[in-house]
């Protein structure tokens, strides 16, 4: 009988749900992800991850003219983010659990809109920024796969400014610390 860690080649298919307590937007957003991976030499995992998460932010721009008059413009931003990342990890069995860590790199397809609070003017946002992350995880064998818990630190920088709503360049980070819980089938 072959133990769970003795295969030199295998496949994994996982589904994850999680939360991103976003530092740039100061709000939490749910995450939904699918992961397909190839297990090589018992301890190396190579794969791809695709996901979805919504995010939102209120932006404020204050300007002061020479007469000390303060002008405040405010806009509300909402985003839909679809990350597409390539993953690599080192996995090590420790008793009944697997511990692993690695990194991800790819892009995120970001679409959204900005609405100026004062004028209700809308502008659409479309960007494809670089997306990167590092992660640590653990998996507990249950049935034909594993229950998996991952903690991640992700980086995704975005410039969401638009002349239509008259708000200055408003850079933001859609990354931060996140966690994901899921189940991964092993073949």
pLDDT higher than 80, residue 14: yes
Mean pLDDT of 90-111: 94
Rounded Cα distance between 36 and 109, Å, is: 19
82-84-90-96 Cα dihedral, nearest 10 degrees: 40
Reported confidence tier of residue 187, pLDDT bands at 50, 70, 90: confident
Closest Cα partner for 136 from 186, 108, 94? Answer: 94
pLDDT higher than 90, residue 181: yes
pLDDT tens readout for residues 140-176: 999 999 999 999 998 887 765 555 455 555 556 667 7
Rounded Cα distance between 165 and 39, Å, is: 49
Which of 25-34, 54-63, 110-119 is predicted with the least confidence, judged by mean pLDDT?
54-63
pTM of the model: 0.80
Closest Cα partner for 11 from 144, 136, 132, 142? Answer: 144
**153, 134 contact by CB (below 8 A):** yes
Phi first, then psi: what are they for 166, rounded to 5°? Answer: 55, 45
pLDDT tens readout for residues 36-79: 999 998 899 999 999 998 877 766 655 555 666 555 667 777 88
Top-confidence residue, 69 or 93: 93
Q: Quick one: pLDDT at residue 79?
A: 83
Rounded Cα distance between 13 and 39, Å, is: 11
pLDDT tens readout for residues 127-139: 899 999 999 999 9
DSSP string of 50-71, one letter each residue: EEEEEEEEEEEEEEE-TT--EE
Reported confidence tier of residue 3, pLDDT bands at 50, 70, 90: very low
**45, 102 contact by CB (below 8 A):** yes
Rounded Cα distance between 74 and 2, Å, is: 62
Top-confidence residue, 90 or 70: 90
Q: Quick one: pLDDT at residue 24?
A: 54
For the chain, helix (H) and strand (E) counts, in that order, are 0, 10
């Amino acid at each position: 009988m072959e133990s769970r860690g003795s295969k030199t080649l295998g496949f994994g298919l996982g589904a994850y749900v999680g939360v991103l307590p976003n530092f740039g937007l100061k709000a939490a957003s749910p995450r939904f992800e699918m992961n397909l991976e190839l297990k090589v030499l018992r301890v190396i995992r190579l794969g791809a991850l695709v996901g979805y998460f919504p995010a939102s932010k209120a932006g404020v721009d204050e300007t002061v003219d020479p007469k000390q008059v303060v002008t405040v413009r405010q806009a509300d931003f909402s985003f839909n983010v679809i990350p597409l990342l390539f993953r690599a990890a080192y996995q090590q069995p420790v008793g009944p659990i697997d511990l692993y860590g690695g990194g991800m790199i790819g892009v995120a397809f970001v679409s959204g809109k900005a609405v100026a609070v004062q004028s209700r003017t809308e502008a659409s946002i479309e960007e494809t920024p670089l997306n990167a992350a590092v992660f640590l995880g653990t998996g507990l064998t249950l049935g034909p796969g594993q229950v998996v818990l991952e903690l991640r630190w992700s980086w995704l920088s975005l410039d969401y400014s638009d002349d239509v709503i008259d708000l200055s360049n408003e850079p933001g980070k859609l990354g931060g610390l996140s966690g994901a819980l899921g189940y991964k089938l092993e073949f």
